[in-house]
Amino acid sequence: MRIEFKLSERLIGFAATAAGPTENVAVVPSNLIPPSDAFRLTQALEHLQSALFGFIPGFPPPAIIDHLLLIIRGDLSGVAYINE
């Protein structure tokens, strides 16, 4: 499945911990997950679903994603290749 999209804002990372409105939080800008760590991969996909994938019309739920290539260009246009 190929989905072309355009984002309205740039994703720079994920919060490493929970924090209240006046507290600082560490941001994880990138993460390498080995194929053998299915639990961490599923967690990352679920986090990306709410932070990024949910803004891409027609994007499938994480549970059915086996392979994913997501390309986001500098102008925030992009293409997702899912299970290809």
Residue 41 and residue 32 in contact, taking contact as beta carbons nearer than 8 Å: no
Q: Given this model, what pLDDT does residue 3 score? A: 96
Count of structural domains, the chain:
1
Token look-up 């500098």 returns 74
The CA distance from 54 to 59, in Å, is: 7
Give the residue, 84 or 48, on which the prediction is more confident. 84
User: How much is the pTM?
Assistant: 0.67
50-56, long-range: CB within 8 Å, 24+ apart, which pairs? 51/11, 51/14, 52/7, 52/11, 55/5, 55/7, 55/8, 56/3, 56/5, 56/7, 56/80
81 pLDDT above the threshold of 90: yes
The residue range of the domain holding 70 is 2-82
